[in-house]
Structure 1
Amino acid sequence: MTSSDCRPQGLTSVSNRPAWRPRPDLWTLDPAVLHLNHGSWGAVPRAAQEAAARLRAESEANPAAWFRALPDRVAAARRRLAAWVGADEAGFALVPNVSAGVTVALTAVDVPPGGRIVVTSHCYGAVRFAAERFARLRGATVVEVPVPLTASPDEVVALLAPAVSGASVVLVDQVTSATATVFPVARLIELCRSAGVPVIVDGAHGPGLVPLPVPEGADFWAGNFHKWACAPRGTAGLVVAPRWRSRTMPLVVSWSEQASLPERFDWQATADYVPWLAAGAALDMLDELDWPAARAAVSAMLADGADEVANAAGGEVPELAAPAATMRLVALPPSVRVEDKAAEEALRRRIAREAGAEVNVTVHAGQAFLRLSAHAYNGPGDYELLAARLPVLF
């Protein structure tokens, strides 16, 4: 059992700073493991697991009745998720994940032969692969704009401005996966709009992490609900601006082909709709936690924990201009070399095996980092234990 499991629960105040007391009881996570990588796969709380189990039992008790009732139930779930992120319901479609949402968006925009798809050096790997595939299909090119890790919002905008001019489409991160940085999305959208260039926002980490995560003026925004919103995996939203709605189509052609957006995304034949329907139970749990207040306390706790881990590992916490609320980077010492994806995975597995901790390993501009991310089940003791176990690995 981790030390965080033994602590009292709830919020307290120490020197006017919120102190977090974890709620691992709301999840079914293995207490023998330090779960410090919520940002990758999320963790489905007990209430949402139980709701999903009831729904699956219902679907198998009478499949015909289940599928007859699905359209109304999916529409209700979609409306609730749209409201939770402050999206226009008429342009909010459900998709399995952000990779699917970005792929849909790239299908809808015009990228002519010789066109340019602009990304940054912080772009998520799968999204970069999607951009490269569409560039190959259309005879276009992918232009990567290098953005330093510690770039200020002004610097990010200034670096992207030359590449935006004349681009076919721009792909930007709301919260970067590899570097846990909040990008100045509103200003980047304004930059693209002034240049007449459509912009797709990768908001994978937005729901539950960024207040009102759907940015005004974006042509497309896609966000995952399985991360900070804790919904069952396979739940994501795609927000489409009015000008693109008539041409935005699901990747799977099914009986909803003639419907309008967002209904045409509701029915993808015999897919698994349980995650969408059970997502509301996760939102209920977050409401009961008063998640916005809890998130602030978790963020403060994680900042202290990251400093402790960095000191123990012989690294440092980079001074980011806009770090994500509940994610922190710990730069690893120069002796730790991570040169490719295989090496990243090898180090993750070694830390899991030898330190009993699930963390993410990322690389940016040749520098290796631990990316620590937290939710309501984490407590200070988790980082104390990680700090005690890491030195023998490096």
Structure 2
Amino acid sequence: MHPKTRDRFLAVLALAVSLAGTGAIAANYGSKQAPEVQSIDLWAGDLPENRWSVQFVGDTMLGNGETPMLDPLGFDAAMAGVAPLIDGNFVIANAEAPITTHNDPLIPGKAFVYKAEPQAAWAMSKAGIDAINLGNNHSLDMGVTGLEDTIQAANNAVMATFGAGHNLSEAERPLLLHTDRGTIGVVSIGENFGKVSKASDINPGTVVFSPETVQRGYDLAREAGADWVVGFVHWGDNYTETLPQQRYWAQVLVDAGYDAIVGSGSHVAEKIEFIGHVPVVFGLGNFVFGTPGRYASFGKQGVGLMVSFELNENAPTQLVVKCIVTDNQLTGFLTQPCSAPQALGVLSGVNPALQIQGNVARMPCRCLEPPK
């Protein structure tokens, strides 16, 4: 939890995360839930200026190259530079590594295999992260044991998990955020990362793009009570610009009814565009990520984005974007906010309509509007 930036406190932790008939994970803010919902229950208190926000941050991995420098206090230090920027009422990160002590890779010889120690979960939670998305190409790096350990470590650290499970039914469970503005459903879905990590009726893994899974994710969230549905997707190639297949799936998501799309996977910041009124964040880039990175060899700038949807009582929803420096060759594995001049260059390229002040930019968004 991050007490300096958010007026909220943990009230109740219930580790079971299912909803009868839909299997939704729910986080409740100051509103009663149906009795069948078992959830992580958070109370937001009085919202400042009648605003409420959900914040997304990119690929997060407190391990690998930086592990030697991470004693128990070092995990906190790795998050310290960006913790002041974590200011959403609810914050979701893409956890790009199993959190486990298990050391047997699911695929021996895989080019990039990641893991993080259990202390990483506590550091993420203390910095202000409330939920982690497991729907990516590394959540099964340490097999089912690593996945189970990750979910347990997150629960111990008071973070929800979604996006992967022992079977497709578990992996498809949307995350529900109940607020006094309405209910946001967050659906995790991504590319096919191989047979061994694709969830099925009998196999563990993540949810893979298909017209059917895209529509079912939306329908599950709506049936569970979501007023809006956000797709948190994992796609794209490492250190590349937005690809045609990303645009294809973005359109499929919009056609299915999704109200917003947030992407991760390429390790670089990509553009924010709109399909009709639906905002598409094609790539958040990294957040705090423990590898040296290959930005220079790809001719890319090592920066990432933190994106919030800010719901206002008497004004349009605001899209809030922050710029961070993620190139560990420059930061020494300590992610930092962009300087104002750097943010100006990055954020103006992300979307020219963004109104930039310092390393933060804003723009109105005709999305996540109050239910009528």
TM-score, length basis structure 1: 0.27
Larger Rg: 1
More relative contact order in 1 or in 2 (CA 8 Å, sep 6+)? 1
Higher relative strand content: 2
TM-score, length basis structure 2: 0.28
Higher relative helix content: 1
